[in-house]
Amino acid sequence: MTDTAHLSLRFGASIAAALLAAGVAHADNWRYAMEEGLTDPQGLYATKFKEEIEANSDHTVQIYPVGSLGESADAMEQAQAGLLQFIDQSPGFTGALIPEAEAFLVPYIQPTDPQEVRKFFKEGVAVNEMFHDIYREQGLELLSVFPEGEMVVTTMEEFRTPEDLAGMKIRTMTSPLLLETYTAFGASPIAMPWGELIGGLKTKMVDGQENPTIWIEAYDLDNLTNVMTYTGHGQYTTAVMANADFYDALSDEDQELVQNASQAALDYILDVAVELDATGLSKIQETNPGYTINRLTEEERAVFKERAAAVEAAFIERAGERGAAILEQMKKDLAAAQQ
């Protein structure tokens, strides 16, 4: 129940309105769900966001980590229904709802160099200007978009060409474009939510998967596979949003509070994000010295880049003209970040 409702019950609507108009502080508890744990990138962002809100207002933020409210799709339903005020959901899962978000999944249109990654996300026109209204159409106020590190593929066998991937069952997140990607790359993709991946690898339902290094290390995915391959095809990207009705009903002051907290958390995580790949890799090398770590050469990547043309076409088919415009802008932002 909101504080306005509490006051109304206790004092009657007119007195409650008068108390609120007189500036009596009212504190709400805002619910924030995410797909990761508190020490993972989404958790670091959420913790910083919570600290900023709580330091600058009487409101509190309750964080629900991965698993506490079901899978990613369940939490999104709760956020759209207004049961959650904030949600962190990655384009890898949002694609069925918002096809344009799958732009973040199109291979080879994002940088891999850490400083270029920071610039692409901090200053890129596509990331910062083109998604807000699109998320709004689904009742979501987009607050931040940030990377969690380069996508890396873990498999049982080594691969350097699409032919090597033939017959390998690669788990992807559930956004449809990821199936197009791994089909174009020569593999046999299977989409599944996070909660099924570890069991899927243990029972050999899948032979591999893709995720950023920091996540592979944190959730032991290296110990369930034999090889990790840097293909250079993109960043794991995630997005934080608020329920739009909730956001619109906030006072100007509270909207500013939310925007400031989002900005502070974004600045913080962008600094951390540039270190995540290196941190994840050194931990894997330390704890799993026998693990094979391959990095495709430029020549080897060129073959996968060629295959990515089919993924771009599939993306535009699903996301239409707006998607095509985002893709073009992302390519310009990539070039700008690389300058």
- Please choose, from the candidates 160, 173, 243, 180, the residue with its C-alpha nearest in 3D space to the C-alpha of residue 209: 173
- Answer yes or no whether residue 181 interacts with ligand 6CS by CB under 6 A: no
Residue closer to ligand 6CS by CB (options 182, 215) is 215
Whole-angstrom Cα distance, residue 263 to residue 141? Answer: 14
Question: Residue 233 CB, nearest distance to ligand 6CS (Å)?
Answer: 15
- Please choose, from the candidates 38, 42, 34, 45, the residue with its C-alpha nearest in 3D space to the C-alpha of residue 75: 34
- Answer yes or no whether residue 311 interacts with ligand 6CS by CB under 6 A: no
Q: What does the per-residue mask of binding to ligand 6CS show for 223-242, with x meaning CB under 6 A?
A: -------------x------
Q: Tell me the residue ranges of DSSP E strands in 95-226.
A: 140-155, 169-172, 188-191, 208-212
- Answer yes or no whether residue 211 interacts with ligand 6CS by CB under 6 A: yes
State the number of binding residues for ligand 6CS (CB under 6 A): 10
End-to-end CA distance of the chain: 51
Helix locations, 38-139, DSSP H:
41-56, 72-80, 91-94, 114-123, 125-129, 132-136
Helix locations, 91-196, DSSP H:
91-94, 114-123, 125-129, 132-136, 176-184
Q: What does the per-residue mask of binding to ligand 6CS show for 60-79, with x meaning CB under 6 A?
A: ------------x-------
Question: Residue 51 CB, nearest distance to ligand 6CS (Å)?
Answer: 22
- Answer yes or no whether residue 173 interacts with ligand 6CS by CB under 6 A: yes
Site residues (CB under 6 A) for ligand 6CS, limited to 131-170: 148
Residue number of the CB closest to ligand 6CS reads: 194
Residue closer to ligand 6CS by CB (options 35, 312) is 35
Token pair 């910083």 is at which residue?
A: 48
Structure tokens at 250: 């906030």
Site residues (CB under 6 A) for ligand 6CS, limited to 24-63: 35-36
Chain residues that interact with ligand 6CS, rule: CB under 6 A: 35-36, 72, 148, 173, 194, 211-212, 215, 236
